[in-house]
Every structure is written in C-alpha cells, then in structure tokens.
Amino acid sequence: MILACDDERIPLELLSASIREARPEARLFAFGDPMELLDFARQNQADVAFLDIQMYGMTGLELAKRLKDLIPEINIIFVTGYSQYAGDAMMLRASGYVMKPTTKEMIETELANLRHPVAEKKTSRLRVQCFGNFEVYADEQPVHFEFSRTKEMFAYLVDRRGAAANTGELCCVLWEDDSESRKVQLRKHLADLAHTLERVGAADVFLKARNSFAVARDKLDCDFYSFLRGDSAAVNAYFGEYMTQYSWAEMTLGSLKSENRR
C-alpha cells in the first residue's frame, strides 16, 4: 500500500498519476490533509508514503515523524520543490527524496531503492475497482471471467451494495429480455461467477438463495463503498467516472456526482 500527501490539488494529482504509472498494480491512497492521512494510517498498514514537505498546518517532516510512530518500518519519500530540505529529510532516515514536478521515472527509482524492502503480501479479500472501468482483483492480480456478461452481472450486484436481485432483473440488465431462454442462459453466467470466485478463494463473496443473488459487501475492498462511507482516500480517487463500460451504471454515476458536489 502506498500513501501520498500534498495540500495542493494539482501537485497531488500529478504525484498520484506518476505513482500509478510506475506501479499500476499498487493500492494508492492520496490525501490533501495530513491529519486525514494519519487517521487512515492508524487503521491501515502502509509500506510507502510520499510526503510533500511544505504543507499548511503540518510540514511533511512533522508528518513523517508521527507516521513513523504509527508504522515504524514505513518508507518515507519526501517530495518538494526546494532542495534545501534534503539534509533534514536524511536526518529522519527517509527512504528517498524527489523534486517536483514528479515523473514516473523518479518514482520508479525511489521504489526500486527502498530503505525497508517491501515483502509481497497476500490478501484474502477481493478488491473491486468501480471508479473508471469496473475491474476485479485477487491478490492484486486481475480476475478472469470466462464470459464478459458474467463480469457485468457481478458489477451490477456490486452496484446494488448487498441488495439482492432475482433472475428476471438480471436478465433485463444483461439483455433487456427476461424470456425463459434468457433465464436458461443466465444460469450459465451464475455458475461461471460462482466458479470464478471459488477459484480465487472468494466464494463467500457471492450470496445465493432461491431466485436471489447478492454480494457480501463486507467481504469486498471496494472504492465505491469506501466513497459512500466518506473515506477521504476514496473521495480523492473519484474523478467523475464510474463503471464506464456499462450504460446502466449512469444512474449511480448521477448520484455520485450529486454527492461529490455537497
């Protein structure tokens, strides 16, 4: 897990983009407020933190000290436009130091030379990305569905946030047709979903009853769900796109845009 903090929006977006280019598979949480980052770090173990040095209210140097109290082995990489802070950064035994504007190449260099090497970690939870294209990951590897409509069906169940859907509703979403032949076809996709999740060790995510299908939302690491809880990292990760490959997702997108304006 990688954290990023800068109290200026444009530099934070550039830093986040550079990190995503360098490590597209990494879980990145970006913050515009140092206190929000500390609150997040109290509940989550991160491996690397990119911190702007000059921030209003709390400098990156102060933030690094407090962050190391919470996560002693975290790799701190300072980001700044001023080279005079390099000495102070090294006194804190920082892992690295990069100058603004950041680039993919700068980030790659720092991540390849961490003070505390990051051991590969396994996660038992499925990670679901709703912002942008809908994607599913297990152990940070993309989950392959045999049929594209199986993936779409799973996306729709995620969109329902744990509420159940029946076969007729699922057929209408996938084909705009709930005829008997479509219901027969749907059974193939339900079986594919069950088998796919079982293969990646996440069988308990899919909840099935008589003509009732849902996801166990508490077993998903989902950016959409985190956004709805008001998680600042998820709010910062939302750039106005939601499950872009599915037209039926536009209704939820509208509600997200309304929520984001508040």
Cα separation, 30 vs 10, in Å, equals: 12
Please give the residue that has the higher pLDDT: either 144 or 45: 144
- pLDDT of 1 higher than 70: yes
DSSP 72-124: TTPEEEEEES-GGGHHHHHHTT-SEEEESSP-HHHHHHHHTT-SSPPPP---S
Predicted confidence at residue 257, as pLDDT, reads 76
CB atoms within 10 A of CB 46: 20
SS3 147: coil
Residue 235, pLDDT score: 87
pLDDT digits (tens, 9 = 90+) for 182-219: 999 999 999 999 999 988 988 889 988 778 999 988 88
Q: The domain 2-111: what is its CATH number?
A: 3.40.50.2300
Distances (CA, A) of 159 to 22, 46, 225: 30, 28, 9
User: Residue 118 — pLDDT band, cuts 50, 70, 90?
Assistant: confident
84-113 residue pLDDT tens: 555 555 555 677 788 888 999 999 999 988
Average pLDDT of span 111-122: 74
Choose which CATH entry (1.10.10.10, 1.10.150.120, 3.40.309.10, 3.40.640.10) describes domain 126-260: 1.10.10.10
Domain boundary assignment for the chain? 2-111, 126-260
Residue whose token pair is 């879980």:
27
What pLDDT, on the 0 to 100 scale, is given for residue 87? 55
N residues, the chain? 262
- Domain 2-111 identical in fold to domain 126-260: no
In whole numbers, what is the pLDDT of the chain averaged over residues? 87
The dihedrals phi and psi of 166, each to the nearest 5 degrees, come to -100, 180
- pLDDT of 123 above 50: no
Query: φ, ψ for residue 92 (rounded to 5)?
Result: -85, 5
Which has the higher per-residue pLDDT, 157 or 29? 157
Q: Percent of the chain beyond pLDDT 70?
A: 91
Convert the pLDDT of each residue in 39-50 to its tens digit.
888 877 789 999
Q: Torsions phi, psi of 189, nearest 5?
A: -75, -35
